[in-house]
Amino acid sequence: MRHQSKKITLDRKTAGRRSLLANLAESLIIYGKIKTTKAKAKAVRSLVEKLVTVAGKNNLTARRQISKTLYTENAVKKMMEVYGPKYKEIKGGYTRITALKNRKGDGAEEAVVEFI
């Protein structure tokens, strides 16, 4: 039975899903705002919010945990120096998803993910 099985797979295998979410998270961290499909937006939001919570601790262990997920040092640095201290006092809800119109080519629901 599949009771309480809420893993978002995005119709990909584990490795492809991990790299997709890491790339989306990096783009969101570096640029502050990304435009993607609604399903990917919901999936990347949970990953980024966990990373921001870890970055709030602002120690070496937190930096290493974040660098396990993100690829570039620029994203890790921005997470630790900008978003960690900014959202340290807040307990969650660091991002906002705004729905857009459907994409013209395939009709996919699009959304914008941004930091609040």
pLDDT at 44 over 80: yes
| pTM for the model | 0.90
Instruction: Identify the residue whose tokens are 């990304």.
Output: 34
User: Would you say residue 74 lies in a domain?
Assistant: yes
Task: With cut-offs at 50, 70 and 90, classify the pLDDT of residue 111.
Answer: very high
- Sort 30 into a burial class: Cβ within 10 Å, 0-12 / 13-18 / 19+: middle
User: Would you say residue 108 lies in a domain?
Assistant: yes
Q: According to the model, what pLDDT value does residue 2 have?
A: 75
The values of phi and psi at residue 43, to 5°, are -70, -40
CATH number, domain of 34, equals 3.90.1030.10
Local structure of residue 79 (DSSP, 8 states): I
* Structural domains of the chain, count: 1
CA dihedral 66, 72, 77, 80 (to 10 degrees): -20
pLDDT at 78 over 90: yes
Q: According to the model, what pLDDT value does residue 32 have?
A: 94
User: Would you say residue 6 lies in a domain?
Assistant: no
Boundaries of domain holding 53: 15-115
Local structure of residue 111 (DSSP, 8 states): E
User: Would you say residue 86 lies in a domain?
Assistant: yes
User: Would you say residue 3 lies in a domain?
Assistant: no
Local structure of residue 88 (DSSP, 8 states): S
pLDDT at 43 over 90: yes
pLDDT at 1 over 80: no
